[in-house]
Amino acid sequence: MMRVANISFLSFTGKIIDSHAHIGSHQGNNYSKSDLDVFVKSALPNKDTVEKMFVSDLDVLHSIKNEYEGNKAILEIFKDSSKYELFASTNPKIGNVDNIKKLFKENPDKFIGLKFHPDIQQLELSDKKYEPYMDFAKKKNLPCLFHSQVSLLDNGVLNPNLIHISDPENIYNLAKKYPKTPVVMAHMGAGYKESHDKAIDVLVQSIKNGDANLYADISWVDIDAETLNNHKTKDHIIKAIKRLKGIGDPSWNYGDQSYRLMFGTDAPLARFNDENPEKSIHNYTQFIEDIKYAIRNDKDLSIDSEKIIDDLFYNNAEKLYLVPKKKLKTKSKFVIISSIVVTSAIAFYLKYKLYKTQLLSTDTENCQHNKVIASA
């Protein structure tokens, strides 16, 4: 097997879909579209281009705005940009799924999925208030992005006495009720080391059991890991890819499941919103390059590294979120065109029928007139 080593100087470029971004208010900061534009307006320093960012509104998640008005506002903000796709943010704790239904009815192809944040809203995932939203997602085949997080002790070890509201296990339990609905665990467990291990375990378990349709994004995963060869190590991202491919597991019989993993950043939060935009761009690009370096230099992944990178950074998110949207747009156009054709056909038929009636009436009158003349 060929191993690629010492290639950090090479200039590989590619397309990026950032599957996790925000605008709105969070922890005393207010984030706007301009904070995201710095990443998409031109190529990154490594020559990669961010083709799409998937954005959700924090104001809805924080109950600052209601579900309908908040999501309508984000539609208006991003209406003129093809670089952004939008989640409809939800608030099952105080909201109503009718807000989301109305939103989708008025804007049938404008949203790529639903966003949930159990931690912010402090709503247990076992609460029945989630059910109408998940029923709607099931009906519309919408991916559902859930904030995930694991309770840790100060030393980074799992807290055995506290299960976090957004724990991957809780997300899994909800997803099992909707086994065909795509459910994405944001941040792959969040936190540190063991939290990511738990999320990976849950993801793999769901595949082996075949009882849920779980995915994960890697926003914040391994972002502060130790530095090796001028790159932050990405042990848990590498571990997730390997386990989803079944590498090192002789009992694995589920094919390549690494399509369930997607790149994301949580931009423009924290280090992706430095006072100096160039620093934000540097941090963003460094996160990307560190991940690429780790994949290219792993002994098991290096031979297929470019495909793995393309899938992780672009293809997986496109297939999950954008392909269904394109099908919906095509279906909507077909329905509209079909309606126009049917309406035109009906109108033509009615005009033809009216013409025939008028023609028949004229023939009858002429016949009667001829009879009068003949009898005179």
For 241-287, how does the pLDDT look when each residue is reduced to its tens digit (9 = 90+)?
999 999 999 999 999 999 999 999 999 999 999 999 999 999 999 99
Per-residue pLDDT at 365: 54
In this predicted structure, the answer to whether residue 166 has a pLDDT above a threshold of 80 is yes
Per-residue pLDDT at 335: 43
In this predicted structure, the answer to whether residue 352 has a pLDDT above a threshold of 60 is no
Per-residue pLDDT at 254: 98
**Cα separation, 273 vs 342, whole angstroms:** 52
In this predicted structure, the answer to whether residue 91 has a pLDDT above a threshold of 80 is yes
For 318-332, how does the pLDDT look when each residue is reduced to its tens digit (9 = 90+)?
999 999 766 655 544
Task: Confirm whether 187 is domain-assigned.
Answer: yes
Q: What is the mean pLDDT of residues 222-248?
A: 94
Per-residue pLDDT at 163: 87
pLDDT band at 159 (very low <50, low <70, confident <90, very high): confident
Q: What is the mean pLDDT of residues 328-354?
A: 53
Residues of the chain above pLDDT 90, percent: 75
Residues of the chain above pLDDT 70, percent: 83
Measure Cα distances from 107 to 88, 90, 313 in Å.
Answer: 11, 16, 28
Residue whose tokens read 């006495």: 161
Per-residue pLDDT at 369: 47
pLDDT band at 238 (very low <50, low <70, confident <90, very high): very high
Q: Side chain identity at 263, as an amino acid letter?
A: F
Q: Other C-beta atoms within 10 Å of 243: how many?
A: 20
Task: Confirm whether 29 is domain-assigned.
Answer: yes
- Cα-flanking dihedrals φ and ψ of residue 278, to 5°? -65, -35
Average pLDDT, the chain: 88
Extended strands (E) in 261-364: 261-262
Task: Confirm whether 113 is domain-assigned.
Answer: yes
Per-residue pLDDT at 187: 97
Residue pair 69/35 in contact (Cβ under 8 Å)? The answer is: no
- Between 98-102, 151-155, 213-217, 353-357, the lowest mean confidence (pLDDT) is in 353-357
Q: What is the mean pLDDT of residues 12-33?
A: 93
Per-residue pLDDT at 358: 64
Per-residue pLDDT at 248: 94
Per-residue pLDDT at 192: 79
Per-residue pLDDT at 338: 47
- Torsion 308-313-318-319 (CA) sign: positive
In this predicted structure, the answer to whether residue 337 has a pLDDT above a threshold of 70 is no
Task: Confirm whether 51 is domain-assigned.
Answer: yes
In this predicted structure, the answer to whether residue 7 has a pLDDT above a threshold of 50 is no
Cβ neighbours of residue 305 under 8 Å, at least 6 residues apart?
A: 4, 295, 296, 298
Task: Confirm whether 376 is domain-assigned.
Answer: no
Task: Confirm whether 367 is domain-assigned.
Answer: no
Cβ neighbours of residue 187 under 8 Å, at least 6 residues apart?
A: 20, 147, 148, 149, 217, 218, 219, 220, 221, 266
**Cα separation, 342 vs 128, whole angstroms:** 43
Which three-class secondary structure state does DSSP give residue 203? helix
Task: Confirm whether 375 is domain-assigned.
Answer: no
Q: Which two tokens stand for residue 357?
A: 């009636």
> Looking at the 3D structure of the chain, how many domains does it have?
1
Per-residue pLDDT at 373: 44
Per-residue pLDDT at 156: 76
The 8-class DSSP code of residue 313 comes to I
Measure Cα distances from 333 to 231, 290, 330, 336 in Å.
Answer: 47, 42, 5, 5
Task: Confirm whether 205 is domain-assigned.
Answer: yes
Residue whose tokens read 């590619």: 14
**Predicted TM-score (pTM) of this structure:** 0.84
Q: Which domain holds residue 211?
A: 15-335
Per-residue pLDDT at 155: 75
**Cα separation, 217 vs 147, whole angstroms:** 10
Top-confidence residue, 202 or 375: 202
Q: DSSP string of 99-158?
A: HHHHHHHHSTTSEEEEEE-HHHHT--TTSGGGHHHHHHHHHHT--EEEE----B-TTS-B
- Cα-flanking dihedrals φ and ψ of residue 73, to 5°? -65, -40
Q: Which CATH number fits the domain that encloses residue 27?
A: 3.20.20.140
